[in-house]
Amino acid sequence: MKLSLVLPTGLALAAAAVFTGGNTTEGYALLGHSLDLNQRDFRVFNGFTNTGANNNTTPHPEFPGATGAVMAIWKGAIEWGSRLHGTGSGDTTQSGGLGSGGANFDPSFQGEANVVGNIGDNICSNISGNSGGVLAYVESTGSGNWRMRFYTGWNWADGPGSIGFSQMDIQSVACHEYGHSLGLGHSGTGAATMAPSTSNGQTGPRSIHSDDIAGVQAIYGAASASKPIITSISSINIGSITINGSNFAATNEVWFTREDFQGNGTPLKVLNVPSTNGGTEITVNVPSNARGGDILVRKTGLNGGNALSNAWPFDVTTTQCPSNEIVCTNLPNSTGVPGTLSVFGSQNIAMNDTILAAGSLPAGEFGIFIYGQGDQLLFVSDGFLCINGSQFYRLDVVQVDMFGQVAYALDLNDLPPGGEISAGETWNFQLWHRDTPAGSGHANFSNAVSHTWCE
Ligand SMILES: [Zn+2]
């Protein structure tokens, strides 16, 4: 069964000339509009109702924070990007990798929306029914404002690999429809993504054809030699990243993906960010309301598509210091429950504000906080020593108060030899304490908790 990929309303004539009327002309067709830099955003309102549309629950490092139909649509749009999206991986059905346009054109994924939005909000959403063979459509004013609708009446599949014969591929249809959004009509080249129809089970349109590439380059121009390029993103500090690449301007905008359901699709921008090392490096603080998504760099003050870089995947969790974790839970002490341990502080090593706090302990007993990097489960006295016995370090003697609690300010500048702590390191902490109420000579331990310091 052939199914139509419908035309943008308001632009039906331009595209219909290719689609119908026995036109034998090969090649792409232009709708006559283009997306300027403030319309490069797209969002997804995931209202697909069939199971196959959202059963890909496996995260992919190149599409951080997205699964299911959201990831599939992100892949469909990003295929039009100027160069490979990260490594280009994420689609095993195409050999060339995702990001094939080679034009002065790059989309900016802006997360999830929870509204259909108006034309111009650039949201991909769903609509009930199947409209007599129509899979999806783009509504556009013809001036570069758009929104995309997928009919839920089809047996949609989110991939990520091949799909069943009875299924319709979200990624392929998204790639086609986004082609309309950016200004392409239907192509007379049958193998093109912008060909007017597709079939169940097909994934070929996920990968744009040389004819589609010629089309996007006809609208936006082949990628300029001066266009900024991102080639990697690295992070060693809490909350900041270094963007590596080329052609960055003296001052730049760095575009992040905004948190889901926030804003109007406008990328989350950090303004006036300088580059260093001859325009090859940018260091920027990550805004607190950024989510995993894509980063793009725009040369400040320039408007053409050649002023905006390719989109590079960015996992916001890589800029966050790992959270504390309970390494082991101990046996009850004489209070009837296990001793607890919490590690407080900013995790910023320069702040030197780490506090070790233990509770649920026998009042008045003496103890020692210990720490190390290995872990084990060694029964000692009445509980478990959870820190590797051959490599742990002891802090000062403390005394449990009348409430069964004890706290200790860890001074990173005054640690035992061999137990020095550096940024990027994770250490495990535990309290050993005497437990006289349990019997003469008895002792026990609190839970053990890990804590990581960063710069
Ligand atoms: Zn179409």
341-371 residue pLDDT tens: 999 998 888 999 999 999 999 999 999 999 9
Residues 6+ apart with CB under 8 A from 246: 228, 229, 231, 279, 280
Written in H, E and C, the secondary structure of 145-193 is CEEEEEECCCCEECCCCCCCCCCEEHHHHHHHHHHHHHCECCCCCCCCC
> Any bridge partners for residue 426, and if so which?
452
Q: How far is ligand 1, taken at its centre, from the CA of residue 32, in Å?
A: 15
Which secondary-structure segment (H or E) carries 75? helix 68-78
Q: Give the three-class secondary structure for 46.
A: coil
Residue 432 near residue 338 (C-beta atoms within 8 A):
no
Residue 144 has pLDDT above 90, yes or no: no
pLDDT of residue 319: 73
Q: Give percent above pLDDT 70 in the chain.
A: 94
Q: What is the pLDDT of residues 238-249, one digit of tens each?
A: 678 999 999 999
Q: How far is ligand 1, taken at its centre, from the CA of residue 410, in Å?
A: 63
Q: Give percent above pLDDT 90 in the chain.
A: 81
Q: Give the three-class secondary structure for 296.
A: strand
Could you give the CA distance from residue 172 to residue 165 in angstroms, rounded to a whole number?
14
The CATH code of domain 229-319 reads 2.60.40
Q: What is the pLDDT of residues 160-174, one digit of tens each?
A: 999 999 999 999 999
Number of residues in the chain: 455
User: Which CATH number applies to 325-452: 3.40.1110.10, 2.60.40.10, 3.20.20.70, 3.30.1130.10?
Assistant: 2.60.40.10
Q: How far is ligand 1, taken at its centre, from the CA of residue 69, in Å?
A: 19
Could you give the CA distance from residue 259 to residue 286 in angstroms, rounded to a whole number?
12
Residue 167 near residue 173 (C-beta atoms within 8 A):
no
Q: How far is ligand 1, taken at its centre, from the CA of residue 176, in Å?
A: 6
Return residue ranges of the chain for CATH 2.60.40.10.
Answer: 325-452
pLDDT of residue 236: 59
Q: Cα-flanking dihedrals φ and ψ of residue 12, to 5°? A: -60, -35
Q: How far is ligand 1, taken at its centre, from the CA of residue 185, in Å?
A: 7
Q: How do strand 168-169 and strand 156-157 relate by DSSP bridges? A: parallel
Q: What is the pLDDT of residues 412-433, one digit of tens each?
A: 999 999 999 998 889 999 999 9
User: pLDDT: is 413 or 130 the higher one?
Assistant: 413
Q: How far is ligand 1, taken at its centre, from the CA of residue 47, in Å?
A: 21
Q: How far is CA 361 from CA 24, 152, 407, in A?
A: 84, 58, 12
Q: How far is ligand 1, taken at its centre, from the CA of residue 368, in Å?
A: 70
pTM of the predicted model as reported, rounded to 2 decimal places: 0.74
CB-proximal residues (5 Å) to ion ligand 1: 5
The CATH code of domain 2-220 reads 3.40.390.10
Q: The dihedral of CA 48, 51, 52, 54: what is its sign?
A: positive
Residue of 410, 328, 398 lying closest to 363 (CA atoms): 398
Computed over every residue of the chain, the mean pLDDT equals: 91
Residue 2 has pLDDT above 70, yes or no: no
